[in-house]
Amino acid sequence: MITKYFRKKFAAGLALGLALGSAGCDRMITPRSAQIIKDAENKTADGNYLRAITLYESALDDSPRTADVHYRLALLYDDKMHDPLHALHHFKRYLTLAPSGPHANEVKSFMKKDELELGTTLSGDSVVSRAEAARLKNENLALRKELEDLRAHRSSDKAITETKTTDKKSGATPRTYVVRESDTLASISRKFYKSSGRWKKIRDANKSVIDDPAKLKPGMTLTIP
């Protein structure tokens, strides 16, 4: 009887110790993750994107607090690695963990752009079938319209008449670009600036010809600031 009693006490003490140890480890995750994220930011600034990705991924634990890490990873894959497939994965994880997060609307906009790009550029590739590419294109045209409608409530500035006259300060003639089939402002921004994030600059420079940023027409001539 005495042996059984001590065995029960030992088991209870062990369970309590494990519980306390687990709680202690959980408290240590946050500062460790913060240091990893800081190191990843430094690697990104240095242009070592692969190492930055590895560091960010090591900080993921599928808890809501890592939603921002997924967001950073998605931007790295999107703007630096030009990999819309992996960017989409992390954008979706961000929305799953933080559906009302501060970047939610921006993430949805990036997702429709990446899905459309993936569907149109890989339509003949083994990664995406032609039927799937067509479905993605149709779905994302509708999504793009929805997202642009959300922005429609913002007050619009007066249309600015764009001319091809020589810039008085720099003496340089603005660049122009003729819109092609399936082009988006984000994809055009990437062609000229190596980043999709400057599409608004192109939109603002072409308010006289762009009625709806979601409906670029092939053959339109845009000024690239």
Q: From 151, 167, 191, give the residue that closes a domain.
A: 151
User: Within a domain: residue 162?
Assistant: no
- pLDDT tens digit sequence for 103-133: 999 999 999 988 888 776 655 444 555 555 5
H or E stretch at 178: strand 175-178
> Does residue 33 sit within a domain?
yes
User: 75: which residues sit within 8 A by CB, 6+ positions away?
Assistant: 87
Same domain, 61 and 103: yes
β-sheet bridge partners, residue 222: 177
Asked whether residue 169 is assigned to any structural domain, the reply reads: no
Radius of gyration of the chain (CA): 25
In tens, the pLDDT along 186-224 reads: 888 888 888 888 888 988 888 888 888 878 888 888 999
Domain that holds residue 194: 175-224
* 182 & 143 share domain: no
Whether residues 112 and 213 share a domain: the answer is no
Q: Are residues 109 and 38 in the same domain?
A: yes
Pair (27, 127) in one structural domain: yes
The total number of structural domains in the chain stands at 2
Q: Are residues 38 and 147 in the same domain?
A: yes
Which residues, listed in sequence order, are joined to residue 176 by a DSSP beta bridge? Answer: 223
Q: How far apart are CA 220 and CA 225, in angstroms?
A: 16
Q: Are residues 201 and 137 in the same domain?
A: no
Please provide the average confidence, as pLDDT, over all residues in the chain: 74
**Which single residue is written with the structure tokens 């720099």?**
170
Residues 138 and 195 in one domain: no
Q: 132 and 26 in one domain?
A: yes
Q: Give per-residue pLDDT as tens, 164-187.
A: 444 445 555 678 899 988 888 888
CATH number of the domain where residue 49 is located? 1.25.40.10
Q: What is the pLDDT of residues 15-67, one digit of tens each?
A: 444 343 433 333 334 678 889 889 989 999 999 999 999 999 998 887 888 89
For residue 168, being part of any structural domain is answered with no
Instruction: Please check whether residues 187 and 113 belong to one and the same domain.
Output: no
Pick the last residue of a domain from 111, 136, 151.
151
On the question of pLDDT at 72 being above 90, the answer is yes
pLDDT of amino acid 191: 87
Among the three residues 119, 151, 183, which one is the final residue of a domain in this structure? Answer: 151
Domain membership flag for residue 198: yes
Does residue 141 register a pLDDT over 90?
no
The confidence score (pLDDT) of residue 9 equals: 42
In a shared domain, residues 127 and 89: yes
Q: What is the pLDDT of residue 71?
A: 93
CATH number reported for the structural domain that contains residue 212 in this entry: 3.10.350.10
Record the pTM. 0.44
Note whether residue 47 is domain-resident.
Answer: yes
216: in domain: yes
